[in-house]
Amino acid sequence: MISGIVNVLKPPGMTSHDVVSYIRRIYDIKRIGHAGTLDPAAAGVLPVFLGAATRLIEYTADADKTYQAEMTFGFATDSGDDTGKVTVLATDTPLPSLEELHSAMVSFSGPISQIPPMHSAIKVAGKKLYELARQGIAIERQPRNVVIKKIALLRFVSSKALFVVDCSKGTYIRTLCTDIGNKVGCPAVMSFLVRTRVGEFNLNEAKTLEEIAENKMAALLPFDIAIKHLSLAVLSDEDVKAFKNGRCVYYESHSLEQVFKVYDQAGSFVGIGEKKSSEPRLYPTKVLG
């Protein structure tokens, strides 16, 4: 059975689910999933996991992400982006100066609280928020804590500002645009979004759907690429056998990390191990090799 990861360049106009369905047909595989949903209008990196690699999705779903986005000042919408219904049109409101905009953006660096937009896939009482929004229903949403690790203004021309942001999972860029607009006293919406990185997966290495269909095996990446960020544990042949059989093995490490990517002496990926205490023992949590 095919197992691996495809770094997909999702085109605008498709949902993340649409992309997964397309990849499923190309590889003729049922066991498939993706990490980090992208809005239909957005483009960019969407890692798709096939076969046994789906067991590693959780390690990429929590990864930091990088976006390049454009925000447009002068109006607000019910969705927070330029596809929504206009709720505020501020034709007489002056645009912020370059200094004001830069200062406002910098103020959002670090841990912040965001209220998820109604047009999002978060489920409340079993229903996705965007489904309620389509029915004209707006409900109270609880704020979520996220981290803006880096935000930089690239260009500010007329009413449009282009910027790049490194952030934690769960960050809504359209909400960030709305909040920045509120900060400078001029309504704003997200008018363009491309995700350029998800953990170890980068835009310059992503494949279009056409490229994947043309040579599907060449597009398939080894699934341990998703866990490059984890600490390495190399086991002896005897310990590998025990690990694969679900038994903990002796492993002493000076690393403070609790989760390890496990390899054998030949450099083959075996699985994921976890240290549950300060004791020198490594417990198998996922065996894939």
pLDDT for 82? 92
The model's pLDDT over 189-219, given as tens digits with 9 standing for 90+, comes to 999 999 999 999 999 999 999 999 999 999 9
pLDDT at residue 212, as a whole number: 98
Residue 43 shares a structural domain with residue 166: no
Instruction: Look at residue 237 and tell me whether its pLDDT is greater than 70.
Output: yes
Measured between alpha carbons, how far is 280 from 278 in angstroms, rounded to an integer? 6
Q: Do 145 and 269 belong together in one domain?
A: no
The range of the structural domain enclosing residue 58 comes to 4-63+200-226
Token pair listed for 169: 């999972």
Instruction: Judge whether residue 120 has pLDDT over 90.
Output: no
- In angstroms, the CA 111 to CA 155 distance is 24
* Residue 254 CB-density burial (10 A; 0-12 exposed, 13-18 middle, 19+ buried): exposed
In the predicted structure, residue 119 carries a pLDDT above the cut 70? no
- Who has greater pLDDT, 59 or 154? 154
pLDDT of residue 34: 95
Integer Rg of the chain from CA: 22
Q: What is the pLDDT of residue 127?
A: 67
Rounded Cα distance, 52 and 2, in Å: 8
pLDDT tens digit string along 25-49? 999 999 999 998 888 889 999 999 9
The contacts of residue 61 (CB under 8 Å, 6+ apart) are: 35, 36, 169
One-letter-per-residue 3-state SS of 112-151: EEECCCCCCCCEECCEEHHHHHHCCCCCCCCCEEEEEEEE
What is the enclosing helix (H) or strand (E) of 47? strand 43-50
69 and 194: one domain?
yes
The pLDDT of residue 121 is 66
110 pLDDT exceeds 90?
yes
Torsion of the alpha carbons at 58, 205, 27 and 268, rounded to the nearest 10: -60
Q: What is the number of domains present in the chain?
A: 3
Tell me the sheet residues that pair with 45: 9
161 pLDDT above the threshold of 70:
yes
For residue 36, the model assigns a pLDDT of: 86
Residues 132 and 165 in one domain: yes
Q: Are 151 and 106 a contacting pair, CB within 8 Å?
A: yes
pLDDT in tens, 243-280: 999 999 999 887 778 999 999 999 999 999 999 888 89
Residues 6+ away with beta carbon under 8 Å from 13: 40, 41
- Mean pLDDT over 220-248 rounds to 94
Same-domain pairing of 191 and 214: no
Give yes or no: residues 122 and 76 share one domain: yes
Choosing from 28, 39, 166, 264, which is the catalytic residue?
Answer: 39
pLDDT at 125 over 80: no
CA distance linking residue 180 with residue 269, whole number of Å: 44
Residue 281, both tokens = 């023992």
Per-residue CA distances from 256 to 24, 49, 230, 277 (Å): 39, 29, 11, 11
Taking the C-alpha atoms of residue 210 and residue 90, their distance in angstroms, rounded to an integer, is 42
Nearest to 179 by CA among 82, 120, 113: 113
Residues 74 and 154 in one domain: yes
Which pLDDT score is estimated for 167? 97
In order, the DSSP letters of 58-117 are: HHHHTS-EEEEEEEEESEEESSSBTTS-EEEE-TTSPPPPHHHHHHHHHTT-EEEEEPPP
Q: What are phi and psi of 252, to 5 degrees?
A: -105, 130
Please check whether residues 73 and 102 belong to one and the same domain.
yes
| 37 Cα distance to chain centroid | 7
Domain boundary among 198, 217, 248: 198
What's the pTM? 0.89
3-state secondary structure of 239: helix
Domain holding 153: CATH number? 3.30.2350.10
Q: Has 39 been annotated as catalytic? A: yes
pLDDT at 79 over 80: yes
Residues 174 and 191 grouped into a single domain: yes
What rounded mean pLDDT belongs to the chain? 92
What percent of the chain clears pLDDT 70, i.e. is strictly above it?
93
Q: Which position has the higher pLDDT, 228 or 118? A: 228
* 131 and 150 inside one domain: yes
